[in-house]
Each structure stands twice: as C-alpha cells, then as structure tokens.
Structure 1
Amino acid sequence: MSTVDAQMPGVFYRRPSPDADPFIEPGSVVQAGQTIGLIEVMKTFNEVKAERDCRVGRILLDDGDEVDVGQTMFEVDEA
C-alpha cells in the first residue's frame, strides 16, 4: 500500500463539476497520468494525476475538504 499526497494546499474535489461522476471510486484501476482529483487554489483548478498504474484503495477526502501540503488524499495498491 502506498499513498498519493497533496503537493499544494487548497480545496480538494473528487469530481470535475458538482453534477459529474467522481474521477475515481475505491477499487478503480487507474493509469499513470490519469486525473484522479482536483485541488483548487485561488480559483485555479490543479489536476491531481496518478503517478503510476495502480488500484485505488481508500479515498480519504470528500468534495470541498481543505488539504495541506503532504496530506494523504488516497491509498493505492499496485494494479
């Protein structure tokens, strides 16, 4: 098990818009470079991308949660 940690402080979002499906769910298999979340900083949305192929374990934040640098957002396993 490894983690995906925030690279910047801001507000975390699991989906691209309020009426859209989440980028990922627990159990999702993602590929390196795939968008798995967003962090909003001063009205600018920054994509959180998977660094490698993996399977999502737990998602530790909900839409609108504040996140700090180094805070764990996701737990992932090898795909």
Structure 2
Amino acid sequence: PPPAAAVEVPPQGYMIKSPMVGTFYRASSPESAPFVEEGSMVKAGQTLCIIEAMKLLNEIEADISGKVIKVLAGNGQPVEYGEPLFIIAPGD
C-alpha cells in the first residue's frame, strides 16, 4: 500500500477570524512594514491587519494579548466572513 500522507496539525492557540468579506492587507501601504510578523508579541487592541471592503479600510485588532504563532491569510488575498486570519498564543 502507498505510504500514509502526513496530516498537518494546525497550531494551537486563539484564532482571530475575519469579521467581514474583503481584501486582506498586512500593512497600511505597499511600502510599509507589516503590522505584525509571526513571532511578534501583540497587546489586546493592537492593529493586526487591514481588510478593505467596498473602498473602506477596516483595521482588525487583536482580541487578546500574546504571541503571533501563524499568519494564515496572504497579503492582497480575498477573505471571507469567519475565515481564520491569525493564530495567537495567549499570554503577556
């Protein structure tokens, strides 16, 4: 029989989901550095990304403080309502 395919286990942590349909941006402009990177420490209320919806730029903020484990959405990619964007390990 063929070898079993490795099953990818998603990282454990708090998931930040998209509150709307739109286009995901990691920075405020193409020349700017991303708001956060994997491994960044964030505080509750800190801006994580921007979602553009109907020509309006909506800042998405962290619900909790902790360390960004994984950025799940690609810059400039469309996202759906409820789509996971970030995984954060809770902590100070």
Same fold (TM over 0.5): yes
Structure number with higher relative contact order (C-alpha < 8 Å, ≥ 6 residues apart): 1
Unmatched 5+ residue regions in structure 2? Answer: 1-12
Aligned length, in residue pairs:
79
Match of 2:27 among 10, 15, 28: 15
Distance in 2, Cα, partners of 1:11 & 1:54: 25
Q: CA RMSD in A?
A: 0.7
Structure number, greater radius of gyration:
2
**1:54: Cα distance to partner?**
1.4
Q: Does 1:33 align with 2:45?
A: yes
Match of 2:36 among 12, 24, 30: 24
Question: Identical aligned pairs, as a percentage?
Answer: 38
* Bigger strand fraction: 1
Match of 1:59 among 67, 71, 75: 71
